Structure 1
Amino acid sequence: MLAPYPRALTPPPEPEAASIPVGKLASGEHVYSGSFAQQFEAALGDIDVDTCEAEGENAFFVADLAQIYRQHMWWLQELPRIVPFYAVKCNPEPAVIRLLAALGTGFDCASNGEIQQVLGLGISPSRIIYANPCKAASFVRRALKQGIDLTTFDNLDELDKIKRFHPDCKLVVRILTDDSKSVCQLGIKFGAPLCDVPALLARARALELDVVGVSFHVGSGCYDPAAYRDALMRARAAFDMGEAAGYNFDLLDIGGGFENGNFGAIAQVVRDSLDEYFPDVDFAPGGRRVQRHRDGLRIIAEPGRFYVHNAFSLATNIIARRQGHVTDGNGPQAMYYQNDGAYGAFNCLIFDHQVVRPKVLTLDQQFVYRPDAPGAGEPDGEEMHSCSVWGPTCDSMDCILRETTLPRALDVGDWLVYENMGAYTLCAASSFNGLRPPRVRYTLGSDIDGAQAVYAVLSSAGHLCN
């Protein structure tokens, strides 16, 4: 069980004062209060596209830290036995990591750089799993020096590497699962088939390495909860192989893949499958299968997008427009160019297979955003037209939407917003063509209870000051 949440240390901030910071993070960023709409309106009030300095009208994110807090509370409600180790690669924003650290999560790091970032925020190495089965030798040596002593493997050569450079490291064998029901499939690159596990464990025993458990990953963005049942069945088989090899596993890592839209259904499958394949008689404290860990079987997971997907929204500025563009007589009537694209936050279109939908922030420089609007969020009565949306670089591949519908009145200088942009966006944004990735404006949200809770958690941990 994670540590309880502290009560608020001060009266909660007023959400109406969206342009007034309620605190500052240790890294220097201001934190505000108020909704996404309030933050966008306040931020745009400080930007004059006709007079600002170069890059003054750059695209920017608004991040609601209270939404991350709510996701964490949801996780504790649905999967109280499973400690989340946040997948840093999904969104490595320092404020996200600071908040999750204060909430008591662990961290799934895939590289030396991610490890150094987490450690640099004062987080203990004991809260890190180096969850990359194929690591550079220099990274393994650095992990030893930094006290990182839990990592995954799925091949014989990795065992030889660990023996040479970090022989006391605790190892977790990553097995192959069926990831065909996920948006991003990882099994083509990682995971040992069950038929290979006995040989891997035999080699680990010969090298006198300590294998402590099993991990798997059903793929990023899993849309079939049943995939977890199949994976847990395979994991139990791997546990049995470990016992046959003379090991007493006490760690199960069920990986990531958790989607916000079907999380409740996934959690139900996971709970039921754990009862079926890892019953208390074997794996609870005192169970016959877990003898060396007083708390019984330790279960962790590696959620990423679950925490941040809907906590970030992105505002982009229309920097150019071409009118009258028709591709086939029925295609887009205009081309809009915005100041962030596929080489920036919208790399998610390529690498994460996301589908984005723009809403209108401003028309004729007037704020018109309607977060609850089902379509583009246009004011009533606005004439719409077919158009395409493009990024700012000189690459013709930099296309956001080849065809969509937006108000005909949308003009150069106006703003669009893209919701649910927290996962696998900022993490892979580049400076191609010399363009700066979007900055982030943080808020505690408009819900007073959530804002108060986050304010208290961050303040108590020393991550937020006045």
Structure 2
Amino acid sequence: MKGFLEDANYSISLLDEGVTPGDVIDNCIYEHTLTGKNAFFVGDLGKLTKQHIHWQNVMTRVKPFYNVKCNSTPGVLEILAALGTGFACSSKTEMALIQDLGISSKNIIFTNPCKQASQIKYAAKIGVNLLSCDSELELKKIARNHPNAKLLLHIATEDNGGEEMIMKFGTTLKNCRHLMECAKELDVQIVGVKFHVSNSCKEPQVYKHAISDARCVFDMAEEFGFTMNMLNIGGGFTDNEQNLEEVNHIVSPLLDMYFPEDSGINVVSEPGCYYVSSAFTLAVNVVAKKAAQCDKRLPFEMEQTRNDEPVFTYYINDGVYGSFASKLSGNLNAIPEVHKKYKEDEPLFASSLWGPSCDELDQIVENCLLPELNIGDWLLFDSMGSGALGERSTFNDLQRPPVYYIMSFSDWCEMQDAGFASDTLMKNFFFVPSCIQLSPEDTFSIAA
């Protein structure tokens, strides 16, 4: 069966019903406390299976092409390959990762709106023919470097007020006609349309305009003799199940109206954080600590802290140049959870969390209430699967924390029942029975 690397250097802990993800986190913290207190991830791959089954049940017409830049760790990619998703890649590195899984080039879209010529040539070499495009210069670049390219015209969407969003990418309806004229002259095939609605903007009107605009582009393509067969409704889906149902409630009738099933149009999307965000927990260690008197007004929710109490600044061993990179773009609301047990009536202090770089941008949490922590204490951050596990910055020689993959036995059975499991997949698992106490001797040998 395709979809699994023969030499993949990782394993998945298959947990009996008596073992919880919390047990695994506790065990890993114990091990890391003994060996260096490095930050680490625990990834529950069973959540990917649940999310995929939910997607199939809700977005019945829409095939997911997983956005690889969200999380490119091998366990995630191989599970999603087994589940049968396509893949949306933004670089040569990502395309190579997916090709190594044995995925058909027909199930890969090269989505980067600003592609290097060398990477376009690489896509042509490995047979990835489906590329997105939103400008004449990009179209000419593709024409020079990829003779078999099939393009999705990337159109801009509109905001709540009906005005065009100030976006880096996406072309106008008016310019689509010009791009089709250029494509005809350059003998480049246009086969579909792509748009993207951000997860911060899910108003029905936005999808209505985007899908109706896509229909206009399809009608325009007929005039030029292009055979269009794909509509890509982009990404922006959160990991909230209700959010997916709300989006489907908006999108489904619009698709039925503009692109009915008998039209032969394949509808795809590029979910990323929907699959992986809630599946990963990050554990970090407090490496330094400072205390000072409060010299500024605190947020309303922190007013219970008295002015004569200290305000603590904690430095942890991961930051915005590592797993919290999304913080720089404002797309991450990091909420820390203290791992050690403390009393309910224990006093809480105004606190801030910073990464290890000592850089002024490396702030993880500006204000929060925490019990007083000591150097060596652990903090947990849930929902860290999206944007935290891509390529790492070289700032201060930061390395990606190791990743420990787990899946509950019930999730494994559900995966089997859904027809996604195989003997090839099973070789990546080892069993953690409930009758034993997890200890440092129980290896979680998963490559970073």
* TM-score of the aligned structures, taking structure 2 as reference length: 0.85
Q: Which residue of 260, 282, 286 corresponds with 1:279? A: 260
1:407 Cα offset (Å)? 1.1
* 2:244 is aligned with 1:254: no
Contact 2:39–2:402 (CA under 8 A) maintained in structure 1? yes
Deviations 1:396-416 (A, max 9, x none): 2211112110113x2111101
Of 441, 449, 455, 2:404 maps to 441
The answer on whether the counterparts of 2:106 and 2:129 sit within 8 Å (CA) in structure 1 is: yes
Does the 8 Å contact 1:65/1:454 carry over to 2? no
Question: Distance between the aligned counterparts of 1:224 and 1:355, measured in 2?
Answer: 22
CA change 1:387–1:458 in 2 (3 A) is: same
- 1:141-164 deviation line (CA, Å, top 9, x unaligned): 111111111111111122222222
Distance in 2 (CA, whole Å) between partners of 1:138 and 1:329 is: 53
RMSD: 2.4
Is the contact between residue 213 and residue 249 of structure 1 (CA under 8 Å) also seen in structure 2?
yes
1:234 paired to 2:213: yes
**Local SS of the residue matching 2:32:** coil
Mapping 1:142-291, distance limit 5 Å = 142-178=122-158, 188-261=167-240, 262-280=243-261, 284=262, 287=263
Deviation at 1:328, TM superposition (A): 2.3
Q: CA deviation at 1:80?
A: 1.2
What is the alpha-carbon distance in structure 2 between the residues aligned to residue 397 and residue 161 of structure 1?
Answer: 36
Partners of 1:36 and 1:64 within 8 A in 2: yes
Distance verdict in 2 for CA 1:228–1:259, change over 3 Å? farther
| Displacement after TM superposition at 1:75 (Å) | 0.5
Matched, 1:315 2:283: yes
**Other structure's SS at 1:129 match:** strand
Asked if the contact 1:325–1:335 (Cα under 8 Å) also holds between the matched residues in 2, the reply is no
Letter in 2 for 1:270: V
Deviation at 1:344, TM superposition (A): 1.0
Aligned runs of 1:39-54 on 2, under 5 Å? 39-48=24-33, 52=35
State yes or no: 1:452 paired with 2:431. no
d(CA) in 1 for partners of 2:388, 2:203: 24
Identity across matched positions, percent: 36
Give the partner amino acid of 2:316: Q
Q: 1:29 to 1:311 in 2, by over 3 A?
A: same
Counterpart CA distance in 1 for 2:356 and 2:362 is 7
Q: Which deviates further from its counterpart, 315-324 or 429-438? A: 429-438
Kept in 2, the 8 Å contact 1:26–1:464? The answer is no
Question: In the TM superposition, what is the alpha-carbon distance from 1:394 to its structure 2 partner?
Answer: 2.2
**How much has 1:462 moved relative to structure 2?**
4.1
Q: 1:303 maps to what in 2?
A: 271
Change (3 A) 1:226 1:461: farther
Q: Which amino acid letter does the alignment assign opposite residue 282 of structure 2?
A: L
1:152 aligns to what SS in structure 2?
strand
Aligned-partner residue type, residue 361 of structure 1: H
Q: Structure 1 residue 74 and structure 2 residue 74: aligned?
A: no
How many angstroms apart in 2 are the aligned matches of 1:353 and 1:276?
A: 34
Structure 2: runs of 5 or more not aligned: 299-306, 431-448
Alignment correspondent of 1:17:
none
Once the two structures are TM-superposed, the CA of residue 417 in structure 1 deviates from its matched residue by: 0.3
* Partners of 2:339 and 2:378 within 8 A in 1: yes
Aligned twin of 1:327 = 295
The 1:124/1:379 distance shift into structure 2, 3 A limit, reads: farther
